[in-house]
Amino acid sequence: MPAKPDRELPVLLREYRPPAWRVDHVDLEFDLGIHRTRVDARLTLRRAGPAGEPLFLDGEGLRLVSIALDGRPLDVTEYRLDEHGLTIAQMPDGAVLHTCVELDPSTNSALQGLYLSGTPEHGFLLTQCEAEGFRRITFFPDRPDVLARYTTTLRADPARFPILLANGNPAGTGLLDDGRLWARWDDPHPKPCYLFALVAGRLEVLERAFVTAEGRAVTLRIYAEADAIDRCGYAMDALERAMRWDEEHYGRCYDLDVFHIVATHDFNMGAMENKGLNIFNAKYLLADPARSTDDDYRHVEAIVAHEYFHNWTGNRVTCRDWFQLSLKEGLTVFREQQFSADMGSHVLKRIEDVQLLRRAQFPEDAGPLAHPVRPDRYSAIDNFYTATVYDKGAELVRMLAGRLGPAGWRRGMDEYFARHDGEAATVEDFLAALGEANEVDLRGYLVWYAQAGTPQLLASGRYDAAHRTYTLELRQHTAPTPGQDVKQPLPVPVRLALLDAGGQPLPLRGASAQAAVSECVVELRDAQAAFTFVDIDRPRAASLLRGFSAPVRVEAGFGADDLAFLVRHESDGFNRWEAAQQLARLAFDRVLAGDLRAAEIGVWVSTVSALLDDNRVEPALLAELLTPPDALELAERCEPFDPAAVYRAREFLEKSLAQVTGARVAARHGQLVEAEQGALDGASQSRRRLAGRCLGLWMRADPTAAAEVAARRAAQAPNMTERLAALTLLAHHGAPQAEAALGDFAARYADDPITLDKWFALQAQIPAEAAVERVAALRADSRFNLRNPNRVYALLRAFAARNLVAFHRPDGAGYALIEDCLVELDAINPTTASRLAATLKDWKRLEPTRRVLLQASVERLAAAATSPDLADILRRTLA
Ligand code: PHE
Ligand code: ZN
């Protein structure tokens, strides 16, 4: 490989070469200023590749002030600078390179590298380095397999920057002769540069002491701006729970004397796991009863845990290259899913995770941006922080964990940490450690990592009364995806039970198995296989893929009656919900086909509405059982895709259910909110979820009466969950009270950006054609700001991704609006622009009128795109 990569070509997995140079130590000194920051870097370099190979260091947008090798200033002929970095041809085998560069954080609107959060007068400085931001701070081999020890010294005006933070343990602080404050940080753990971070500014702190199971005393601190610090308590509690949980379930303790989290309103993603210094999008850190919904609380807990868990899965064991991104992300999402399930309800957590997978990942896997969990090529790595890498990646880890069982999984993970602590690993390393610790060969699962697309699983069962056997036939098929025409069979674990007429599992005996079990896992390894259970009564129904044991689409040919039976009798909570979803899908298909009197619709309505009278069903689960699949899931069933038709058909189902349940849901809503105090325990959250669902159905049954109650709850409910749900219903159903309620909400939360984002997002999703004009007006509103990713996502992404009626207005006005925003946004923040542009991926599936319009928009954008990120998304979208 040439020392300096060719940027025109995609990066290929198969061309991986170990780094030619290692960095043993990095000594960084920052002289910080909002408009001018100076970075002195001393890299202790060691040749790792062949003699004579030049040194190439990545560096972008840096103004080189000075450069010296082993103390000797370099002459301009001794190095070469271009827009991608610095090359030194003649290098000894070991040397200390000192570079000094300058940058201007205040103009960094991409929010990668060193940037300013907030205004120049009041804001603070921080960094974001994953994936390739460190090269915007100093010259460095910016790749995750170069692990180094870091010492960081920060110097700044103490009036403006009283808090100076970096990775690792504190190693001194004081005042300089010129009056400036200095602080030094020493990180004893070798790390890749994407985990580097610093923060400098005026921040308040919340502190708590923690002692690890190994006896290490750790100070936990959460930093936020003054108006936010009193909303950090919940995150602190969640952090403590996550730290304990990782000790108990994985035997992993924290490994520094301090653990710091900082909240910012200006962040491209959710949060970042920088070593010992996590940086959070404030949206996922701050929580308080008056302003946060139950969903917000769950997200904060989940993301605090996710970033904390990265300390072992991501930081102590990191990734060899960015192709292995899911090695840390899929694994960490899975660990967070286990944790969140333990903290709340296992069934509800699984339902939420599967919903996310179906709404975000399945469509990704079925469209032009489909890619394997481990991609084999990329042009812009920032475009691979996807639902596939994260959420499908977590499903693959779940299958592996399921295959090994709890004890085997723990053994395998212990082995993985033991082998690779302090190293940069690959997916192969992971599978080898898990497999060898358990003496099983897991390499068959590599195909799951390498192959894109959601497999279709076809199942059919046969009972042989004469021999008392039941045979389950399974077949799999994966449709081609871009660049992968031929697909291989995958190992598909199918967890199943066979139920008798009362819903009880029948004892399962395989031909060879000794003891009977009530539930088992069969693994389909080939394109098709049959599994026979012996000495068994005739089952009333098969309960397949329990707990969603593999990320596939199942087609079992069940009719409405079979599914209704499962909704009534299935004991596995997840599969009970799944049966209700499948039943709703059958009904939806009939509505979409114009068959409004089809039996399936009636069966769905009567089956799920009957659950309202069953007080054994837990309220939150009942709410989910009463909800048809999201429009984004149903959209896939419409070919060609007519967004308005999907919306109407789903709404028809809602109304059909509402007509039958109207009086009951009104009464139930009354009961549920009567006792409402805004408490945060699980039972209260569960009741609120059902209250929201009841109000939604009531709104369709009796809009006048329901809207009056909704208007009162929007103004007065003692919690944000209900207020927001009520306001959303008023706005989405065009209730006469909607505008006043929206105005009140905006006035009340005018100075709280996180809550105001909710106000933007709910209006972006109003399912009416006129929402285009509303979104255009909001975009022009002084409160909107294209430079703030949260606001862009709240208004524009919510509109493009979720508003089937307005974004897809047949005159193309919705497309034009997003096109226009994207051109402007690309120049400001390419990451945010390309994440917004990913919502355009389904143009090819649209019915012809809309397809032509959206295609034209995408083509114009592709021609106008200036950033590699946006250009890459659009090129793949058009391909
Ligand atoms: N690594 C972060 C996480 O998932 C996500 C992230 C990626 C944040 C890139 C910022 C930039 O925890
Ligand atoms: Zn992560």
What tens digit of pLDDT does each residue of 557-611 get?
A: 999 999 999 999 998 999 999 999 999 999 999 999 999 999 999 999 999 999 9
- pLDDT for residue 856 is more than 90: yes
* Choice from 269, 274, 334 to test ligand 1 binding pocket (greatest atom count within 8 A of CB): 269
Q: For atom 7 of ligand 1, which residue has the closest CA?
A: 130
Catalytic machinery residues: 307
The pLDDT assigned to 702 comes to: 98
% of the chain exceeding 90 in pLDDT: 98
Ligand nearest, relative to CA of residue 131: 1
Q: Is 810 helix (H, G, I), strand (E, B) or coil?
A: coil
DSSP label at 507? P
Nearest CA-CA partner of 343 in 246, 220, 254, 218: 246
Atom number, ligand 1, closest to the C-alpha of residue 267:
10
Q: Which CATH number fits domain 318-450: 3.40.50.970, 1.10.390.10, 3.30.559.10, 1.10.10.1100?
A: 1.10.390.10
DSSP label at 359? I
Ligand nearest, relative to CA of residue 133: 1
Give yes or no for a contact between 297 and 343, defined as CB atoms under 8 angstroms apart: no
Nearest CA-CA partner of 796 in 824, 767, 760, 831: 760
Atom number, ligand 1, closest to the C-alpha of residue 133:
11
Burial label for 514, CB within 10 Å (0-12, 13-18, 19+), is exposed
pLDDT in tens, 286-301: 999 999 999 999 999 9
* Contacts of the segment 702-710: beta carbons below 8 A, 24+ positions apart: 702/662, 702/666, 703/733, 703/735, 705/666, 706/666, 707/733, 707/735, 707/736, 707/737, 708/737, 709/669, 710/735, 710/737
Residue span(s) of the chain under CATH 1.10.390.10 come to: 318-450
- pLDDT for residue 515 is more than 90: no
pLDDT-derived band of residue 2, with 50, 70 and 90 as boundaries? very low
Question: pTM score, two decimals?
Answer: 0.98
Q: Which CATH number fits domain 11-314: 2.60.40.1730, 2.60.120.560, 3.30.70.20, 3.30.1490.100?
A: 2.60.40.1730
% of the chain exceeding 70 in pLDDT: 99
Q: For atom 9 of ligand 1, which residue has the closest CA?
A: 130
Average of per-residue pLDDT across 90-116: 98
The pLDDT assigned to 3 comes to: 54
The pLDDT assigned to 675 comes to: 85
- pLDDT for residue 1 is more than 60: no
Q: For atom 2 of ligand 1, which residue has the closest CA?
A: 272
Nearest CA-CA partner of 393 in 456, 323, 329, 447: 329
CA of 128 to the centre of ligand 1 (A): 9
Q: Can you say how many angstroms the Cα of residue 323 is from the centroid of all Cα atoms in its chain?
A: 17
Q: Which fold has domain 749-879?
A: Zincin-like fold (1.25.50)
Atom number, ligand 1, closest to the C-alpha of residue 112:
11
- pLDDT for residue 513 is more than 80: no
pLDDT-derived band of residue 7, with 50, 70 and 90 as boundaries? confident
pLDDT in tens, 678-713: 999 999 999 999 999 999 999 999 999 999 999 999
pLDDT in tens, 632-680: 999 999 999 999 999 999 999 999 999 999 999 999 999 999 989 999 9
Give Cβ neighbours of residue 519 (< 8 Å, ≥ 6 apart): 495, 496, 497, 505, 508, 546
Residue 192: C-alpha distances to residues 10, 330, 399, 611, 691 (Å): 22, 19, 29, 53, 48
The pLDDT assigned to 8 comes to: 78
- pLDDT for residue 344 is more than 70: yes
* Spatial distance between the Cα atoms of 196 and 150, rounded to a whole number of angstroms: 9
Q: For atom 11 of ligand 1, which residue has the closest CA?
A: 130
Atom number, ligand 1, closest to the C-alpha of residue 307:
12
Residue span(s) of the chain under CATH 2.60.40.1730 come to: 11-314
Q: Is 664 helix (H, G, I), strand (E, B) or coil?
A: helix
pLDDT-derived band of residue 186, with 50, 70 and 90 as boundaries? very high
CA of 303 to the centre of ligand 1 (A): 11
CA of 271 to the centre of ligand 1 (A): 6
Give yes or no for a contact between 564 and 603, defined as CB atoms under 8 angstroms apart: yes
Residue span(s) of the chain under CATH 2.60.40.1840 come to: 459-550
Q: Which two tokens stand for residue 233?
A: 């308590």
User: CB atoms < 10 A from the CB of 564, how many?
Assistant: 21
- For the chain, the average pLDDT equals 97
pLDDT in tens, 419-445: 999 999 999 999 999 999 999 999 999
- pLDDT for residue 5 is more than 70: no
Q: What does CATH list as the number for 459-550?
A: 2.60.40.1840
DSSP assignment of 610-621 equals HGGG-TTS-HHH
* Choice from 115, 130, 281, 331 to test ligand 1 binding pocket (greatest atom count within 8 A of CB): 130
Which residues lie across from 45 on neighbouring strands?
23, 95
* Spatial distance between the Cα atoms of 470 and 510, rounded to a whole number of angstroms: 10
Query: Which residues' Cβ are closer than 6 Å to ligand 1?
Result: 128, 130-131, 269, 271-273, 306-307, 310, 329, 385
Residue span(s) of the chain under CATH 1.25.50.10 come to: 749-879
Element (H, E) at 450: helix 446-450
pLDDT in tens, 798-854: 999 999 999 999 999 999 999 999 999 999 999 999 999 999 999 999 999 999 999
Cα dihedral 262, 266, 267, 273, rounded to 10, equals -10
* Spatial distance between the Cα atoms of 717 and 674, rounded to a whole number of angstroms: 10
Please give the backbone phi and psi of residue 502, each rounded to the nearest 5 degrees, phi first.
Answer: -95, 5
Q: For atom 5 of ligand 1, which residue has the closest CA?
A: 272
Give Cβ neighbours of residue 37 (< 8 Å, ≥ 6 apart): 30, 31, 102, 103, 104, 105, 114, 125
Query: What single-letter amino acid sits at 557?
Result: G
Helix, strand, coil share of the chain (percent; to 5) = 45, 20, 35
Residue list, CB under 5 A from ion ligand 2: 329, 332
Atom number, ligand 1, closest to the C-alpha of residue 390:
4
CA of 804 to the centre of ligand 1 (A): 29
CA of 328 to the centre of ligand 2 (A): 7
CA of 298 to the centre of ligand 1 (A): 19
Please give the backbone phi and psi of residue 201, each rounded to the nearest 5 degrees, phi first.
Answer: 165, -165
pLDDT-derived band of residue 304, with 50, 70 and 90 as boundaries? very high
Q: Is 352 helix (H, G, I), strand (E, B) or coil?
A: helix
User: CB atoms < 10 A from the CB of 565, how many?
Assistant: 19
DSSP label at 793? I
Output b/e per residue, 670-707; b: 16+ Cβ within 10 A: eebbeebeeeeeeebbbbbbbbbbbbbbbbbbbbeebb
The pLDDT assigned to 4 comes to: 60
Q: Which two tokens stand for residue 564?
A: 């209704």
* Spatial distance between the Cα atoms of 445 and 492, rounded to a whole number of angstroms: 9
The pLDDT assigned to 510 comes to: 83
* Spatial distance between the Cα atoms of 773 and 596, rounded to a whole number of angstroms: 33
Q: Can you say how many angstroms the Cα of residue 761 is from the centroid of all Cα atoms in its chain?
A: 18
CA of 795 to the centre of ligand 1 (A): 22
Placement of tokens 């039958």 in the chain: 660
Ligand nearest, relative to CA of residue 127: 1
Q: Where does 593-719 have alpha helices with state H?
A: 599-610, 619-625, 631-634, 643-674, 682-701, 703-716
Ligand nearest, relative to CA of residue 789: 1
